[in-house]
Structure 1
Amino acid sequence: MSGNQGSEAGRPRLIALDWGTSSLRGFLMGKDAGIIDQRASSHGIQNLPEPGIPGFEKAFAALCGPWLARWPDLPVVAGGMVGSAQGWVEAPYVPCPADVAELARHAGRVTTADGRTILIAPGVIDDPADAPPDVMRGEEIQIAGALADNPSLAERASIIMPGTHSKWVSIAASRITHFDTYMTGEVFAVMTTHSILGRLMTSPAEGTTADPAAADAAFCQGVLAARESRAGDLLNQLFSVRTLGLTKRLSGLVLRDYLSGLLIGQELTSGLARLKQSSATLPPIVLIGDDRLCSSYRRAMALFDITPAALLGNTAPSGLFRFAAATGMLQRA
């Protein structure tokens, strides 16, 4: 535990939970969204100590019990998949345009067995009349944190959030106005694990490492192939992962990198075209997410002559703090 908890700055004000599918992270937070302490467990909503509500109760108690034993009156908020249909309680989806105040007005609520109330952040839905709907859950909290920590982005920005289901989010006047989801990460996982494309992919021999230059070259080759492609080419290009391996034009050691570049390149081709279609000038582009994955996106974006305005890490704790403040919970803390 860090921080001087005897001072106002070090006094705990909130317990914030970032509760996803595979993991649970808790943050003991003080004044101005400062993190005093943090804990983590593998008890995501699909890996609870036991099924159903008792599992959520046990996971919460195991993670936060020591904090609550010392500060029993601390308010608690949670965001992420804990508010999904498979979560502790299903929180609603707030329609675009949405900001943190709108999220607070539609917060979900769960009462623990010992009578404690936990507020749960809702998701966001983009449901235009002329297109299929799109949804996010968890990313809206990361966005709230990013905008709070980087006010210059609040007026106009495009936030790219790489992952299993990558999000491209349009921001105007601190509000989420539109977003698109790309299943880039999930398609990569399926193609490498459950399709014929993965059969030629190899790993370095024990005690050796892959050649970084060769891996980067293969990744860039995939990005450039996507950049130069025509509409609808992806299904054809995917098979090139196999043929480049069969003909030994690419080593099995770098076929994953080529596939990664191909998929990320296709995502960028589509996402950037949509941005250019909706505005005469590109807004500042911000990457939020895992450092390694964001680095791959930044490398790919350079081949499109795009430089991100910022590369941000985990903004969820700050977002959960802003969400709690918007609900009024911190005024009572």
Structure 2
Amino acid sequence: MHLVAVDWGTSSLRGALLDETGEVLREQSHPRGILSIPPGGFADVFESLFAEWMRPEGTRCIISGMAGSQQGWIEAPYCACPAGLDEVARSIIDIQPGRIALLPGLRDEHSGVPDVMRGEEVQIFGAMALTGLRDGLFVLPGTHNKWARAKGGRVEGFRTFMTGEFYALLSQHSILARTLDADAPLDEAAFLQGVTQTHNREGLLHNAFGARTLALFNRMPKSQLSSYLSGLLIGEELRTQSLQTTSEVVLIGSAALTQRYALALGAAGVLTRTLGAEATWAGLHALANTQGRRTS
């Protein structure tokens, strides 16, 4: 029996064909995120991309990500934290019973303000399956970064930081865009200088202006300023975390972003291990198996 595992996000869609052990047989990726799908068009897009994989009898599909949002195929309400595989599996929504199902996201709350994730919870469960860890801190860098703590195989809670989006805004649409090169490669020394600068505890709104004045007085070349700004933002994010008792963090995401978090956490004396797309497929496989046990 094969599983079609799909991560359907806002701007892109990824899929993998898995065998019963979770091994990836084939993969595909398309710029067909939910924002590109016309109303009522999800079923047609799905069939156009995955009909061949779904053809063998008994094949089923499980979909994570924004396809389960209000703007997606069918809304799959959020599952409240703490939540593990069992809680999430109980909240799976069938699109075509026994054939296609949608996963819910997770919901947490801090000081009366809700926080949510869709898709990252799958990566966390996948990371647990791949590493054998059931407790710890999982960090998922991206446009909206997630910091999640797990205990006993369940996501106890999490917080979202708009670090990636703020970097894009500052580097492309603020006065800083005139003095830095947002596409310049990572300069590790400048990045770590930015991380260290946040230790002055004067806040991002002040420190970010330094990216302009360092250029104004020729203290830092244009090619390094984007790395410095990135360090300021990630350093500010780390400054809000309680890392004193954390010996290791699991990073899940693209190599470019996890590299930066590994550098910043390393400077704070925290060890890291890194996972990529394999965490998504492992998580979807684990959830499909959990759902299968519940219905068998």
Tell me the TM-score range normalised by the shorter chain: over 0.9
Superposed, 1:151-162 pairs within 5 Å as: 151=132, 153-154=133-134, 156-162=135-141
Structure 1 distance, partners of 2:153, 2:210, is 42
**1:195 aligned to which of 174, 195, 213:** 174
Of residues 39-48 and 97-106 in structure 1, the stretch that sits farther from structure 2 once superposed is 39-48
Residue identity opposite 1:119 in structure 2: A
The offset of 1:223, in angstroms, is: 0.7
**1:229 aligned to which of 184, 195, 200:** 200
**1:43 aligned to which of 32, 38, 41:** 32
Q: 1:259 to 1:236 in 2, by over 3 A?
A: same
Unaligned runs of 5+ in 1: 1-11, 205-209
Determine if contact 1:89/1:110 at 8 Å carries over to the other structure: yes
Could you report, residue by residue, the CA deviation over 1:64-96 in whole angstroms, capped at 9, with x for unpaired residues?
A: 012223x14311110011111111111111111
SS of the aligned residue for 2:157 comes to: strand
Corresponding position: 1:270 with 2:232:
no
Corresponding position: 1:76 with 2:61:
yes
Structure 2 distance, partners of 1:288, 1:87, is 24
The offset of 1:142, in angstroms, is: 0.6
The offset of 1:265, in angstroms, is: 0.7
Rg comparison, structure with higher value: 1
Determine if contact 1:324/1:330 at 8 Å carries over to the other structure: no
Percent of pairs identical after alignment?
39
**1:307 aligned to which of 259, 271, 280:** 271
- Alignment match, 1:57: 43
Corresponding position: 1:91 with 2:76:
yes
TM-score by length of 2: 0.93
Determine if contact 1:25/1:39 at 8 Å carries over to the other structure: yes
Corresponding position: 1:30 with 2:19:
yes
**1:287 aligned to which of 251, 256, 265:** 251
SS of the aligned residue for 2:265 comes to: helix
**2:107 aligned to which of 125, 143, 148:** 125
User: Where has structure 1 moved over 4 Å in runs of 4 or more?
Assistant: 329-332
Q: 1:328 to 1:187 in 2, by over 3 A?
A: same
Corresponding position: 1:248 with 2:221:
no
Could you report, residue by residue, the CA deviation over 1:16-64 in whole angstroms, capped at 9, with x for unpaired residues?
A: 111111111111111221111112211111123xx1122x123211210
The offset of 1:330, in angstroms, is: 10
TM-score by length of 1: 0.83
Structure 1 distance, partners of 2:149, 2:109, is 14
**2:189 aligned to which of 203, 209, 217:** 217
Could you report, residue by residue, the CA deviation over 1:245-299 in whole angstroms, capped at 9, with x for unpaired residues?
A: 111111112111110011011111112x3x54xxxx3253111111111011111
Q: 1:330 to 1:93 in 2, by over 3 A?
A: closer
Corresponding position: 1:16 with 2:2:
no
How large is the Cα RMSD of the aligned pairs? 2.1
Unaligned runs of 5+ in 2: none
Residue identity opposite 1:312 in structure 2: L
